[in-house]
Amino acid sequence: MFRRKIRIWDETLRDGAQMPGVFLGLRQKMELARMLDGVGVSYIAAGFPATDPEEKRVVRRLMRERLDARVVAVARALRPDIDACLDAGAGDVSLFIGVSPLHMRQVLRMTPREVVERVAESVSYVRDHGATPHFVAVDGSRSGPFLRRALQAARGAGAESLCIADTVGILTPRATRRLVRSTPAANAIHCHNDLGLATANTLAAIEAGVTLPHVCINGYGERSGNAPLEEVVMALEVLHGVRTGIRTERLTALSRAAERLFRLPLPVHKPVVGLHSFAHESGIHVHGHLQSPLSFQPYPPERAGQETTLLLGKSTGTRHVAHLLRQRRIPATEAQAREIALRVRRHHAQARRDPGRFRRAKADTEALVAGVPEAEFWRIARRVLGRP
């Protein structure tokens, strides 16, 4: 099932940057794009030129970088949007339009026939102007039989990739496999993580034949985010033996750079790249690790650019203490090692009794992700409108 080459399409600079409270300027996007290229992704969705002159500038600058990855500009299936991408010099344009009954009736106010015509016209327009068109079926997971019509229209007009978007994250792995197999034209998948299934659904889509998964660094993106780049890649590499072309040893450095630029602290238990992804505190786990590193790890942490950490805390055991003392060549009896472990556990319990530390940390995190307060909006509006 994995004989086809899997290529990685990264959406961090577009969908990831749409997270509430996040702002990425030209410098930040350029830094991440270079790192993504260095990691080995095949496509970088660089931005949405029609929405902001800065987005157009990002695409134009990245096109001059001569990256190995293909730089993609994103557009609605509208000529002004496409013209903005072309004006930015984009070699690849990803077109999107809603294909579910809800989107067609209530958002677009278009009939299915009009949507099919718009898809074909837009894809042809991109191709006729010398760029490579791609098509994303927005809300494809809730579109029913119409999905096939939309994808066939895009394929017939010359789209290189045809993507099913699980826009509100309602698929399950079983439903994803069934959906992909029933729409053989699709070769790409874009999964959101509203119910925590984005990684599983992306893998299921690949098992069913998709070769171009859309991902974001750290799972960033709208609402609960997208399929995380590092999780999808490591699952393919470790569980399925698939060579994705990604330099996995650079994933943690990429993750930490994105965390810094997005100013969104990652959970310490974040899979693959989290601070504690390869950390052990429990005495049983530490002892097992000291005997055989893979006893409590699914793969060597170095594969993801990580390292093992043995923490001291509430579960510290005598063997961990003895190991640390041996490293410093400090002699101690078993009774002394046991007493040290007991005092370490007591110290940790006392340090955790300060609830104020947690409240301050949580408040600081919430402040980082806050947008513009409504009171500030009204101050701006009054100044623009000339009202006191």
Name which of 54-58, 133-137, 219-223, 314-318 the model is least confident about: 314-318
CB-count burial class (<10 Å; 0-12, 13-18, 19+) for 44: buried
Identify the CA nearest to 44 among candidates 234, 229, 211, 203. 229
Cα atoms in the 13 Å half-sphere on the side-chain side of 9: 26
Q: With pLDDT > 70 as the criterion, what percentage of the chain qualifies?
A: 99
Asked if residue 356 has pLDDT above 90, the reply is no
Mean pLDDT of 293-316: 91
Cα–Cα distance for residue pair 225/24, rounded to 1 Å: 16
Asked if residue 114 has pLDDT above 90, the reply is yes
**Phi and psi, residue 324, nearest 5°:** -65, -40
Ramachandran category for residue 63: left, alpha or beta (phi over 0 → left; psi -120 to 50 → alpha): alpha
Query: The whole model's pTM is what?
Result: 0.91
- Strand residues in the chain grouped as ranges (E): 9-10, 43-47, 70-76, 92-98, 132-138, 161-166, 188-191, 212-215, 279-280, 309-310
Report whether 314 contacts 344 (CB < 8 A): no
What does the CA dihedral 260, 265, 266, 267 come to, rounded to 10 degrees? 160
Residues 64-88: pLDDT tens digits?
Answer: 998 999 999 999 999 999 999 999 9
Asked if residue 388 has pLDDT above 90, the reply is no
Mean pLDDT of 56-65: 96
β-partners of residue 336 are none
Residues 249-299: pLDDT tens digits?
Answer: 999 999 999 999 999 999 999 999 999 999 888 878 888 888 888 889 999
Asked if residue 1 has pLDDT above 60, the reply is no
* CA 338 to centroid of chain Cα atoms: 44
Range picked from 52-56, 119-123, 338-342 for highest mean pLDDT: 119-123
| Residue 290 confidence (pLDDT) | 83
| Residue 316 confidence (pLDDT) | 87
Q: Give the CA diameter of the chain.
A: 82
Asked if residue 357 has pLDDT above 70, the reply is yes
Q: Which residue has the higher pLDDT, 22 or 234?
A: 234
| Residue 282 confidence (pLDDT) | 84
Asked if residue 354 has pLDDT above 80, the reply is no
CB atoms within 10 A of CB 36: 25
| Residue 254 confidence (pLDDT) | 98
Binned at pLDDT 50, 70 and 90, residue 2 comes out as: low
Cα–Cα distance for residue pair 153/199, rounded to 1 Å: 28
Tracing tokens 């750290």 back to the chain, one arrives at 218
| Residue 348 confidence (pLDDT) | 85
Asked if residue 51 has pLDDT above 70, the reply is yes
Burial 333-368 (b: 16+ CB within 10 A, else e): eeeebeebbeebbeebeeeeeeeeeeeeeeeeeeee
| Residue 3 confidence (pLDDT) | 66
Asked if residue 363 has pLDDT above 90, the reply is no
CB atoms within 10 A of CB 146: 17
Tracing tokens 């690949």 back to the chain, one arrives at 206
**Tokens, residue 177:** 């496999």
* Residue 248, H or E segment: none
Give the contacts of 179 (CB within 8 A, at least 6 positions apart): 140, 141, 147, 164, 171
- What domains does the chain contain, in order, with CATH numbers? 9-262 (3.20.20.70), 279-353 (no CATH)
Range picked from 195-199, 286-290, 312-316 for highest mean pLDDT: 195-199
Asked if residue 46 has pLDDT above 80, the reply is yes
Report whether 320 contacts 308 (CB < 8 A): no
| Residue 287 confidence (pLDDT) | 80
Name which of 118-127, 164-173, 235-244, 357-366 the model is least confident about: 357-366
Asked if residue 192 has pLDDT above 60, the reply is yes
CB atoms within 10 A of CB 378: 11
Cα–Cα distance for residue pair 288/286, rounded to 1 Å: 5
Mean pLDDT of 166-191: 97
Mean per-residue pLDDT of the chain:
93
Asked if residue 147 has pLDDT above 90, the reply is yes
Give the contacts of 191 (CB within 8 A, at least 6 positions apart): 166, 169, 171, 176, 197, 198, 199, 201, 202, 205, 214, 226, 227
Beta strand 9-10 with 43-47 is: parallel
Identify the CA nearest to 300 among candidates 311, 312, 289. 289
Identify the CA nearest to 160 among candidates 187, 140, 181. 187
The DSSP code sequence of 179-228 is: HHHH-TT--EEEEB-TTS-HHHHHHHHHHTT--EEEEBGGG-SSTT-B-B
| Residue 77 confidence (pLDDT) | 98
